[in-house]
Structure formats: structure tokens, C-alpha cells
Amino acid sequence: MSAPRVLLGVAGGIAAYKACELLRRFTESGHSVRVLPTASALEFIGAATFEALSGQPVHTGVFADVPSVPHVKLGQEADLVVVAPATADLLARAAHGRADDLLTAALLTARCPVLFAPAMHTEMWEHPATQANVGLLRERGAVVLDPASGRLTGKDTGPGRLPDPAEIAELARLLLERPTALPRDLAGRRVVVSAGGTREALDPVRFLGNRSSGRQGYAFARVAAQRGAKVTLVAAHTADLGDPAAVDVVRVGSALQLRDAMHVAAKGADAIVMTAAVADFRPTSLVGHKIKKSGSADPPPLALTQNPDVLVELVGAREPGQVVVGFAAETGDDTGDALHHGRAKLARKGCDLLVVNAVGEGMAFEVADNSGWLLGADGSETVLPSGSKALLASRVWDAVAARL
């Protein structure tokens, strides 16, 4: 199978330097990448840098290598076009069909998925002209990401920051896996996602925890935000994951803290997705000092008490029309396989949808990909084939959107 052919457009903004990190991620993932910078982008990053990282020539105009007709051929042959950063000027030229350099000409000939990652000052992003151009591009089928909020050029802070290159790469992979994964069908909806593993303190040093990295929950939040939803992410302990763009993040530690945050966030939400791995038990008491070894004697037994079932509580308190999605990490045993146990859990929990993951070494936890089954309270069962965690999230959001 040939490597996916990606065109990486780079417009002339200060965030152009981040395109080098994005390019590295594409090439290390086995993609064949051709960089198409604008002339302004080369004021920030030299052509030699892009050529060295991509192994491909870099041109800005349509008169380079004329015999191969690159302004037509590059777009025709591409599997994906990503423009990062996409400045206000680039979005305007793309929306109005300009073809005054190699990048905009290639955008006109591309028939593959096209992803724009905007980066500009807040006032420029929020200007009616830019919003009209974004709307026009989305109407035509392009994916225009909502930007992140944070530090901009100088002392300014606000929406308009380029999403993290790792996030752009994840969404780009999603479009290669499933070009229809990011419709704006959640616009106007408010959703709540939990992610990561809770930690139950034993003493100031130790805790009871689990192997959840939070990647699946972050993928749910990231995909929902780029499908137009207003997203609250209640994040327990996770791997070193950057905050998803256009997502409000609430950080918690223990199961009880997560429970409180979820009940607050769930009020008025259209959908709730409980991907967090919540500890079933916690110590009955917290020791105020580090528990020391006492010679060769065994430590005293650890007394545990059961944590509340947050998913069951959310199902019991759900508002009319609210869709609740649960997760079940299961293994097979003498009584049945993972899917059998998932069906039983759906009946116990009472949620609308339940994602069942078979877990084990190299499966579900601490890995990039995921698979499983999506079970519905209406008796439906859908296989979720192996792919990125964003792909699994996109398929579940399809089912949620159909129920809203």
C-alpha cells in the first residue's frame, strides 16, 4: 500500500514555525508530504527547512517545474490537504477561489479532504468577514478547525491560537481514515466528557490508581468540539496530553471530585460521555504521614470502601432528551466473553449507549488505537473496528447525534 500523499500548506503567520513539528509528525507516520508555503510563510521559515524535513522540493509560484503542471497535478493526486497555519488572508483567498500562488491553485484542484487550522489574532478570527469565509468553506465541505485559546503574538491572549501540532495530526489522520468524520452536526449542542483515571490517596505519597491514559476521552472532546459542540472536559489524571482546542477543561483527582464536577457540568448538557476510569474503591481513611516499613512485619490490611457509581447517578439524574454514554473495559472469564459482560453492564447501568472495550496487554489502555462494540439500550449492537481513538469517538458521536 502506497504512503498517503499529503499537501501541507503553510501561510504567512508567526505560527508557521509549528508547521515544522506537524511536518515531522506526518513524515514519521509514513506519509509522503509536499510542503506548499506562501511567499509570506517563507519570511518566517526558509524553504531549505521544509525541503530537508520533507525530502521534497518547495515552491510558491505556479511557474516552477512547468512541464509537470504542479498547480493542477498536486491537488489532483493528494489524499489530504492540510493548511496550518491558515491565516485570515489565506482563508479569504481560499473561500473566494483565488489561485494566485501554488497553494491556492492546488486547493482548487483538490478533491480529497481539506483541513484548515486557523491561526490569527482574536479580533481577526472574530471579524464577520473571517467568520463568513469560514462558513463558506465549511458549506463547501472543507474542515475548518476552531482555534485554541491562549497566548498570541506579544501580550495578547484569546481564541486564535493554532491548535497543537499533535492535535492537528490526530484530526488529519482521522480524515484519512474517515473523510466524513467531522461534520458540524453538534453545533449548538453542549456536551460533557470525562477522561483519565482517578487516584485515591493512601498517604501523602501513595495512591490507588489505574492504567487509563485519558487519550480516548480527550479524543471524544476534541472531535466533539470540531463538530461544533460546546465541550466541557472533566479530566482526572492523564498522560501528558495538551488541552484540546476550543474545550473547557475542569481538572479533578479523586472519584468523589470527579463525581461532583460531573453533576455540575451535566446540568443543561445535551450529552454526557463517561470515558473516565473511576476507581471502584477508596481507602476508608487517609493517613496524614508517609506509611513506613516496620522491619519484617507485614503492613496492616488496607481497609477500603466503595465509591459511588457516577454513571448510574448521572443516568438517574438525566434531564429529558439528554443522551448518556458509558464505557466498559472488560475481559472474558469462565462465565462469558467481553461482549457478554458488556451487555450485562448496559442492563445494570441504564445508559443510552455503552462502548465495550476488550482490554489486556496492548489493548485499549496506553495505546494509540482502539476498537470494540457500541451497544444501545434499544438493542442495537455495532462493531467499532480498530483505528485511531478519534475514529472510535467519531463513530460514537454519530450515534449520539442521531439520538439528540
Q: Is the pLDDT of residue 396 over 60?
A: yes
- Kindly report, residue by residue over 69-78, the tens digit of the pLDDT: 678 999 999 9
3-state secondary structure 24-50: HHHHHCCCEEEEEECCCHHHCCCHHHH
Does the pTM surpass 0.75? The reply is yes
- Kindly report, residue by residue over 109-134, the tens digit of the pLDDT: 999 999 999 999 999 999 999 999 99
pLDDT tier at 295, thresholds 50, 70, 90: confident
Task: Please report the pLDDT score of residue 301 as a whole number.
Answer: 84
Task: Please report the pLDDT score of residue 148 as a whole number.
Answer: 97
- List the beta bridge partners of residue 388: 369
Q: Is the dihedral of CA 81, 86, 91, 97 positive or negative?
A: negative
Q: Considering the candidates 210, 307, 357, 370, report the single residue annotated as catalytic.
A: 210
**Structural domain boundaries in the chain:** 5-177, 190-403
Domain 5-177 has CATH 2.30.30.100: no
pLDDT tier at 205, thresholds 50, 70, 90: confident
Is 190-403 the same fold as 5-177? yes
Task: Please confirm, yes or no, whether 357 is among the known catalytic residues.
Answer: no
Q: Which residue has the higher pLDDT, 370 or 365?
A: 370
Percent of the chain with pLDDT over 70: 98
Instruction: Calculate mean pLDDT across residues 279-302.
Output: 83
Task: Please report the pLDDT score of residue 220 as a whole number.
Answer: 98
From 189, 220, 194, 190, select the one nearest 313 (Cα to Cα): 194
Percent of the chain with pLDDT over 90: 81
Task: Please report the pLDDT score of residue 81 as a whole number.
Answer: 98
pLDDT tier at 365, thresholds 50, 70, 90: low
Pairing status of strand 271-274 against strand 323-330: parallel
Task: Please report the pLDDT score of residue 239 as a whole number.
Answer: 81
Residue 2 C-alpha cell reads as 502506497
At 371, give phi and psi (nearest 5°). Answer: -160, 175
- Kindly report, residue by residue over 245-275, the tens digit of the pLDDT: 999 999 999 999 999 999 999 999 999 999 9
From 351, 282, 280, select the one nearest 311 (Cα to Cα): 351
Task: Please report the pLDDT score of residue 8 as a whole number.
Answer: 98
- Cell 518566517, located at residue: 44
Burial label for 297, CB within 10 Å (0-12, 13-18, 19+), is exposed
pLDDT tier at 289, thresholds 50, 70, 90: confident
Task: Please report the pLDDT score of residue 141 as a whole number.
Answer: 97
Q: Which residue has the higher pLDDT, 102 or 334?
A: 102
Among the four given CATH numbers 3.30.465.10, 3.40.50.10300, 2.30.300.10, 3.40.50.300, the one describing domain 190-403: 3.40.50.10300
Min mean pLDDT across 45-49, 139-143, 294-298, 323-327 is at: 294-298
Q: Is the pLDDT of residue 68 over 80?
A: no
Q: Is the pLDDT of residue 107 over 60?
A: yes
